[in-house]
Amino acid sequence: MSDSLPNNLNDQKANSPSGVMRVAFVVNGVVCCLLIVALVAFGMKGKQSGDEAGSTMSKERGIDTPNLKPLATATDSVEEDEDDNNGKPKTVTIEMKWHPEGIADFEFTERSGKTVSKKDLLGHPWIVGFIFSNCAGPCFKVSSAMRQLQDEFLNDTDLRLVSFTVDSERDTPEVLTKYAQAFHADSDKWLFLTGDKAKIYHLIWGSFLMPVQEETGERRKPGFEFIHTTNVLLVDEKGVVQGKWSSTDEAEFGKMRRELRKRLRKGTETDIDPQK
Tell me, yes or no, whether 38 and 137 share the same domain: no
CA distances from 115 to 166, 194, 195 (A): 17, 10, 10
Percentage with pLDDT > 90 across the chain? 58
Q: Can you give the length of the chain in residues?
A: 276
Q: Tell me the residue ranges of DSSP E strands in 41-153.
A: 78-81, 91-94, 107-110, 115-117, 126-131
The answer to the question of residue 271 being in a domain is no
Report yes or no: 247 and 230 within 8 Å, Cβ to Cβ: yes
Same domain, 212 and 117: yes
**Judgement on whether residues 14 and 148 belong to the same structural domain of the protein:** no
Rg value, the chain, Cα: 29
The Cα 136–Cα 130 span in angstroms is 14
Residues 56 and 114 in one domain: no
Structural domain includes residue 69: no
Q: Within 13 Å and on the Cβ side, how many CA atoms surround 250?
A: 0
**CATH code where residue 208 lies:** 3.40.30.10
Domain match, 52 and 145 both: no
Inter-residue contact 241 to 233 (CB < 8 Å): yes
Same domain, 112 and 239: yes
| 45-93 confidence digits (pLDDT tens) | 333 333 333 333 344 444 443 333 334 444 444 445 555 556 666 655 6
pLDDT tens digits for range 16-49: 444 444 544 444 454 444 444 343 333 333 333 3
What is the model's pTM?
A: 0.67
Question: Domain check: are 221 and 154 in the same one?
Answer: yes
Q: Are strands 241-246 and 231-235 parallel, antiparallel or unpaired?
A: antiparallel
Q: Are 93 and 79 in contact (CB under 8 A)?
A: yes
* 246 in the same domain as 122: yes
The mean pLDDT of 237-256, rounded to a whole number, is 95
Q: Which domain holds residue 252?
A: 102-266
Residue 93, phi then psi, degrees to nearest 5: -110, 125
Q: Is residue 85 part of a domain?
A: no
Is 93 domain-assigned? no
In one-letter notation, the amino acid at residue 221 is K
- Asked whether residue 79 is domain-assigned, the answer is no
159, part of any domain: yes
Q: Is 88 inside any structural domain?
A: no
Residues 124 and 257 in one domain: yes
In a domain, 207, yes or no: yes
Average pLDDT of the chain to the nearest whole number: 76
Indicate if 133 and 214 belong to the same structural domain. yes
Does residue 115 share a domain with residue 33?
A: no
Cα distance between residue 245 and residue 128, in whole Å: 11
| CB burial string 211-246: b at 16+ within 10 A, e below | ebbbeeeeeeeeeebbebbbbbbbbbeebebbbbbb
> Over the stretch 184-234, which tens digit does the pLDDT of each residue have?
999 999 999 999 999 999 999 999 999 999 999 999 999 999 999 999 999
Q: How far is CA 32 from the centre of its chain?
A: 40
Which residues, in sequence order, are bridge partners of residue 79? 93
Pairing verdict, β 226-228 and 212-214: antiparallel
DSSP letter at 19? H
Which amino acid, 207? S
